[in-house]
């Protein structure tokens, strides 16, 4: 297989091109354990995405209910899943999770529904998509075997997620009683971002060590 074939999923066989089902790469834990059959791959990936949303939901329920944004394990779960699944499956898992919440399933920290998606945590929830894409992109390129590289990608993804969340909080600050209207930026940062920074550094460190540890335990021995 050439580099082009590996990246695009296009293979030349019997005088014609055929498209392979490439939703993750051999550089990820999911890619290492993928079945050989294309149909089996699709079925396995679909099941993995659904199970991934259950994992994120469980992580969301482990929370400290502080206002306006609760402390949860969601960012840990999403970082670990994106690193283990790769970009495409990681983003698909987060997207399905958000769709489940939009349809009213109680998958978020304190419920679900469209109203929740336009509440104070909306920016962070949408930021999870960008976070999964960044971490998954790094994993697809071999970061799962390099703890410091993976941790760096997770920190970048986490920072982008915080940027989404902070921007949304600032945008809705005029309607929020918890924001000091005389100093919106500092007030929003102090109450909805700053308290989570240390916790998220620890969560990203744990997520990167978990994934790289599993890679060393299973993938490198195959």
Q: pLDDT per residue over 158-170, tens digit each?
A: 999 999 988 888 8
Domains identified in the chain, total number: 1
- HSE toward the beta carbon, residue 222, CA cutoff 13 A: 14
Q: Are 140 and 134 spatial neighbours (Cβ–Cβ below 8 Å)?
A: no
Q: How confident is the model at residue 7 (pLDDT cuts 50, 70, 90)?
A: very low
Which domain covers residue 150, as residue numbers? 3-221
pTM of the model: 0.84
Task: Tell me the pLDDT tens digit for each residue of 79-95.
Answer: 999 999 999 999 999 99
Q: Are 141 and 87 spatial neighbours (Cβ–Cβ below 8 Å)?
A: no
CA nearest neighbour of 74 among 200, 192, 194: 200
Q: What are phi and psi of 72, to 5 degrees?
A: -135, 180
CATH of the domain at 149: 1.10.1760.20
Here the tokens at position 23 are 């939703």
Could you give the CA distance from residue 29 to residue 218 in angstroms, rounded to a whole number? Answer: 8
């Amino acid at each position: 297989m050439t580099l082009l074939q590996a990246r695009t999923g296009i293979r030349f066989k019997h005088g014609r091109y055929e498209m392979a089902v490439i939703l993750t790469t051999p550089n990820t834990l999911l890619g290492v354990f993928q079945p050989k059959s294309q149909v089996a791959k699709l079925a396995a990936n679909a099941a993995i995405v659904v199970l991934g949303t259950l994992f994120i939901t469980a992580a969301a329920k482990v929370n400290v209910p502080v206002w306006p944004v609760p402390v949860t394990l969601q960012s840990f779960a999403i970082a670990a899943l994106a690193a283990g699944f790769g970009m495409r499956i990681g983003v698909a898992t987060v997207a399905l999770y958000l769709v489940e919440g939009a349809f009213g399933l109680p998958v978020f920290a304190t419920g679900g529904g469209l109203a929740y998606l336009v509440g104070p945590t909306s920016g962070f929830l949408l930021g999870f998509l960008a976070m999964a894409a960044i971490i998954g992109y790094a994993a697809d390129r071999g970061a799962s075997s390099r703890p410091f590289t993976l941790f760096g990608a997770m920190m970048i993804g986490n920072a982008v997620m915080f940027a989404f969340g902070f921007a949304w909080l600032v945008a809705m600050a005029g309607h929020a009683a918890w924001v000091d209207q005389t100093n919106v930026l500092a007030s929003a940062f102090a109450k909805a971002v700053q308290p989570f920074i240390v916790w998220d550094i620890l969560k990203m460190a744990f997520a990167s060590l978990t994934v790289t540890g599993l890679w060393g335990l299973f993938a490198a021995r195959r």
